[in-house]
Amino acid sequence: MVGETPEARVERLVLEYAQSLPSARPLDPALSLREDLVIESLSLVSLTLQMGDELGVNVMDSGIELGELKTLGDLVAMARMLSRTKNQETINRSA
């Protein structure tokens, strides 16, 4: 969604894909994607592709190694990186 922080975007998407959800909000960045949230590999791929689509960034071309995404905090860091990539692309096109 437009205007969402990376943390809010990740939390919203994780809530869509997680098979197990802790009751506390906001979600703890240390939560394991696999063990705590029970997000399987294929779901993680779908989640990251959806995030890229929302940000207007091709995740497959971004150099992100999905195997390195272990925690919710890793996803937030990825969202921040994708946002910076999109912002830099916008600045470069304007120059």
**30 φ, ψ (degrees, to nearest 5):** -80, -5
Whether the Cβ atoms of residue 28 and residue 10 lie closer than 8 Å to each other? no
User: What count of Cα atoms within 13 Å lies in the side-chain half-sphere of residue 79?
Assistant: 24
- Mind listing the pLDDT tens digit of every residue in the chain (95 residues)? 667 888 898 999 999 999 998 888 889 999 999 999 999 999 999 999 999 898 888 888 888 888 999 999 999 999 998 888 776 666 667 76
Closest listed residue to residue 64, CA positions, set 77, 73, 55: 77
Q: Which domains does the chain have, with CATH numbers?
A: 6-87 (1.10.1200.10)
What pTM was estimated for this model as a whole?
Answer: 0.83
Question: Encoding tokens for residue 28?
Answer: 């703890």
